[in-house]
Structures are given as structure tokens and as C-alpha cells.
Amino acid sequence: MRVVLRTFGELSVTCGVVMLLFCAYLLWGTGSYTEHHQELLKRRLAESARQAKVAKKLGKLDLGDAVGLIRIPRLGHDYEFAVLEGVDPADLRKGPGHYPGTAMPGEVGNFVVSGHRTTYAAPFNRLDELRRGDEIVVDAPAGRYTYRVSSTKVVDPANIGVTAPVPGRPGKRPAKAMITLTTCHPEYSDRQRLIVFGVLSGTRDRED
């Protein structure tokens, strides 16, 4: 019996260590993967900005292309992530993703961006800290677009109405440019979605 108990105890300790290492990898190890791809996306974005300046417009984006840089001053002066086109699991491991088919930065409609909250650099980990009036700045090849937070809410994952051109009112024609940020809620769970809405408050052309 002592041998059995000792063996069981050793196995339990080993399993515990393995689980701790796995959790550490999920929380911190995946960040290095995202950081690597963020560097690549930022280089592509810089090149796209140069091309857009010459061509006076931005060409069609493919899945995986860089859309723009998102900055949120309330979350720190060093908060900056490249947003890519696509929201599949493989896309979101590289950074925040833009929902294909929704508005582009600065356009009338709903510019929808999703991001991880706890793994892969956790770009949207602190979205719950945003308050009405906070700035969300998106630097795209064509210009800089400043949105201001208008409201936040928690919804069921099945509620896709928040991604509509007019959030919560599918089928309604949009009259203004908006941004919607989505992430899992609560932290360490995907039971719900935390949603942050914003309205475009300022535009600055790249040439300016």
C-alpha cells in the first residue's frame, strides 16, 4: 500500500508540474509567436503605406495582410498592435484580426476587430478598462483614424448583431463610421464576449 501511495503521489506531482508548464506556455510562451508575426506585419504595413502614398489608394487586402496599427492611449503609450485581415484561429494567433466584409478604417459602417484576451500576447486583455470618451487610434496606409469609445457591453457568443454595419440593428443602412472591438469574457473563459463600441471622431490623411 505504501508503494502504491508513493507512486500515486509521484505521478500527481509530475502531472502538476506538466500542467503548470503547459499553462505557462499558454500564457507567456505563445506571446513570442505573436511578437514574431507582429514584426512581420508591421514591416508589411510600412511597405503598404509607401505604396499607397505613390498610388494614392490602397489595393485589395487578402487574408493575412496588414490592415493597420491600433493604439489605445489608456492602455499605455507603448500599446500598439498590427491588425491583420482575418479572424480564423490561425489569424488571431498573429494579432488582432479584422472581420472580412466589415468596414475598413475610416469608412462609413462598422470596422470590427477581434483579439485574444489571455494568450498570444493577449492584445485585448485590458479592454474592460476602457471608458466612454477614450481614444482608439488606427493608423492605416491611407491615414490616421481616431475613434472614441461610446459604450461597452457583454453579450452571448452567438450574438453576431454586434458586427452588423449598425451594431445591434442588422439590415439598417449605416450613416457614420464606427469601430467594434471584441474579445472573450470573463478573463480565462470564452463563455461570453466583451464588446467595446466607438465612433469616428477625427481623420488625418497620410499626406498630412
Please give the average per-residue pLDDT across 133-145, as a whole number.
96
Whole domain around residue 118: which residue ranges?
Answer: 2-205
pLDDT at 47: 85
Q: What is the pLDDT of residues 45-88, one digit of tens each?
A: 888 777 765 444 555 678 889 999 999 999 999 999 999 999 99
d(CA 48, CA 147): 22
Total domains, the chain: 1
Question: For position 96, what pLDDT does the model report?
Answer: 98
- CATH code (residue 188): 2.40.260.10
Kindly report the length of the chain. 208
List, in order, residues 6 or more apart from 168 with CB less than 8 Å away.
161, 162
When pLDDT is cut at 50, 70 and 90, the band that residue 160 belongs to is very high
Beta carbons within 8 Å of 174's beta carbon, 6+ residues apart: 103, 108, 109, 110, 165, 166
Q: What is the pTM of this model?
A: 0.84
pLDDT for the residue 130? 98
Q: Half-sphere exposure (CA, 13 Å, Cβ side) for 36?
A: 6
Are 140 and 111 spatial neighbours (Cβ–Cβ below 8 Å)? no
